[in-house]
Chains A and B, each alone.
Chain A
Amino acid sequence: MITAMSDASAPPVPGFVESTFSPLVHAAVHRCLGVAPPGDGARTAIVLASTVGDATTLDTGSRSLVAGQAHQPLLFMQSTANAILGRLAVDLAVTGPLLSLSTAVPDDVAGELLTTGALLLETGEADRVVLVGVELAAGDRAAAAHRALGTVPPAEDLAVALLLDRDDPVPHLPELPAHPPPAAPPDGYGTLRGLVALAARNQGTPP
């Protein structure tokens, strides 16, 4: 297993504007695969999971609509996570499955990603799977949504990527302490803390 993280310092990706969501995903996946041995793109899958998704892009578009302004075409293109997955597929010559998921079980972005990765490997849909969890620090709407869901956003924009290989056992999640109260996430990683803990264990560093 190879892991990588990216934060708001991720470099911009040409054609993607306003939101850090896609650059975070782009940087985390590139860092993850950048240190991996070359693989067969046709046998590689990328699975993205987030709870709220790219709220910045959706909210920017919605606010301009409400204000009576014309929609930016680039926001249309990037409003689905498929866009950055497609960009990564071009960069990395990946022609296997590209999935994007939304899961709202507290702490379960990691669990759902690992389950999906294992499913793709075990059913022979792919020989290696890049799992990427991404969540933005919450703006107004996302904060209200997280409160209603009982989930916690990270304190800062964050993406974590893991590469699973058919020949490696799918890792078990480290045991996490009870979910923190929404108002005070002590570790700051929110819905991604399972992935961060997994990455830290893999790299032998504290989360």
Chain B
Amino acid sequence: MRREVLLTGYGVRTAFGTGAEALRDGVFDGRPAFAPVTRFDTGPYRTDAAATHGPAVPLREVLAETAAAAVRMAGLPAGARADVLVGTAGDFTALTRFWRTRGRDADAGGAAGSDGAGGAGVVETVPAWQAAALADALGVRGTRLAFTSACVASAMAVVHGCLLISSGRADTVLCAGAYLVEEENLAKFGSGFALSRDGAVRPFCADRSGLLLGDGAAAVVLESADGARRRGARPLAALTGWGVAGDAHHVARPHPEGAGLAAAAGRALRGAGLPRVGYVNAHGTATRHNDPAETRGLRAVFGPYADSVPVSSTKSTTGHLLEAAGVVELVITLLALRDGVLPPTAGFTEPDPLCDLDFVPNRPHKADLRAAMTVNAAFGGVNTALVLERT
């Protein structure tokens, strides 16, 4: 028998700052956070715009900050047993620093040994180290594992946490994800012509031109209902459905009918025992291929209900958070559920005729939500869906 999965704590950081109030002021108010990046020279890249918060800091610091907030909110005792599952590709700033330092060492004629100056911090480039370091920082005991599945990485971590708890293999799991804007991905996404050309992100609009990157980190504490009850923990919501499915269509483009996304969302709905939800936080990257495919996938899964399910992309305010997208957008969905407010798709102009759902344009709506879903998609045609319900 499947055990109930409860969410008992969260921590979050985006370009708007740290915590739920920063999200309410920015994301829920429909205020894009994009501005010229000042933490490095953007001259070589196709855009200087991204959604950043302050100077560059190590990825491990934002993971530790958001996870500590989640643990505090959940009231987990020190030294608790908890698996730590982190969606991350490692610290890219440390990667650039390694090769810059190596180049300088070589120019100086010197001693570019493997553990030279460039080697300091090199371990932070390894995803698994980030998970282990986070577990050590929290002082929790359990499995430490990094999920490296690009834009669904932290959503995968949450799905895995749900499987561990629902199957009785774990009582408590901390799921996290983090990404901070840096040069490596600005170069990569630029080379793939995926970045917005005009400094704005307009998902589902006819004049959309691509995505912009954003800082993001979040952590959630998931617990079995029995475990939470024993501790007297206050559940914030129940995770009642989850799904993962592949497109089997193309290495870099989504299935044009959103087949994998529909399959993942369908599994999540069936798991929750629901025919529909009151809100969907979409992947909504504002790229040419994603948005129509996602629209078709959501239409397929909701069928006759599709026109009455509000769908928004909060990447229009936060930017694309890459490995952190899944868990940050889960927290945004949680706030929507608890506050009864739908975050808008900001900067919405004219809808693409191929994108014909209720995209909550520009202004937040009030809504009495019982259940909400967040969906994500990634390279390789990998799709995830998570259903949250009020407790």
The interface of chain A, by Cβ under 8 A from chain B, is 15, 41-42, 51-53, 58-59, 61-63, 65-68, 70-73, 75-77, 79-87, 89-90, 92-105, 112, 115-116, 119-120, 122-123, 125, 140-141, 143-145, 147-149
Tell me, yes or no, whether B103 is within 8 Å of chain A by CB. Answer: yes
B 162-178 to A, binary, CB cutoff 8 A, 1 in contact else 0: 01101101000000000
**CB distance A80 to B149 under 8 Å?**
yes
CA of A176 to CA of B207, assembled, Å: 59
- The residue in chain A whose Cβ has the minimal distance to the Cβ of B114 is A144
**Most B C-beta atoms less than 10 A away, residue of A53, A82, A93, A99:** A82
- The residue in chain A whose Cβ has the minimal distance to the Cβ of B381 is A86
CA of A13 to CA of B150, assembled, Å: 21
Residues of B within 8 A of A61 (CB): 184, 187-188
Tell me, yes or no, whether B369 is within 8 Å of chain A by CB. Answer: no
Residues of A within 8 A of B114 (CB): 140, 143-144, 147
CA of A79 to CA of B128, assembled, Å: 17
Consensus secondary structure, chain A interface: helix
**CB distance A95 to B245 under 8 Å?**
yes
**CB distance A65 to B96 under 8 Å?**
yes
Partner of B380, one of A15, A51, A98: A98
CA of A82 to CA of B379, assembled, Å: 6
Which segment of B118-126, B215-223, B233-241, B342-350 sits at the interface? B118-126
Residues of B within 8 A of A65 (CB): 96, 99, 183-184, 187
CA of A100 to CA of B146, assembled, Å: 9
The interface of chain B, by Cβ under 8 A from chain A, is 44, 89-90, 95-96, 98-100, 102-103, 114-115, 119, 122-123, 125-129, 131-132, 143-150, 156, 160, 163-164, 166-167, 169, 183-184, 187-192, 244-252, 259-260, 263, 378-382
**CB distance B163 to A99 under 8 Å?**
no
**CB distance A62 to B381 under 8 Å?**
no
> Distance (Å) between the CB of B302 and the closest chain A CB?
20
Partner of B251, one of A62, A83, A100: A83
> Distance (Å) between the CB of A47 and the closest chain B CB?
11
Residue contacts A-B, CB under 8 angstroms, 30 given: A58-B95, A58-B125, A65-B183, A65-B184, A65-B187, A66-B100, A71-B190, A77-B379, A80-B378, A80-B380, A82-B150, A83-B380, A86-B381, A89-B247, A94-B248, A95-B248, A101-B145, A101-B146, A101-B148, A102-B126, A103-B128, A104-B126, A104-B128, A104-B129, A104-B132, A123-B167, A125-B244, A140-B102, A141-B95, A145-B129
**CB distance B191 to A73 under 8 Å?**
yes
CA of A82 to CA of B44, assembled, Å: 27
Given contacts A66-B103, A86-B379, A149 and B129 within 8 Å (CB-CB): yes
CA of A83 to CA of B119, assembled, Å: 28
Residues of A within 8 A of B244 (CB): 96-99, 125
**CB distance B126 to A71 under 8 Å?**
no
- The residue in chain B whose Cβ has the minimal distance to the Cβ of A13 is B251
**CB distance B252 to A83 under 8 Å?**
yes
Partner of B89, one of A66, A80, A93: A80
Residues of B within 8 A of A76 (CB): 188-189, 191-192
- The residue in chain B whose Cβ has the minimal distance to the Cβ of A66 is B99
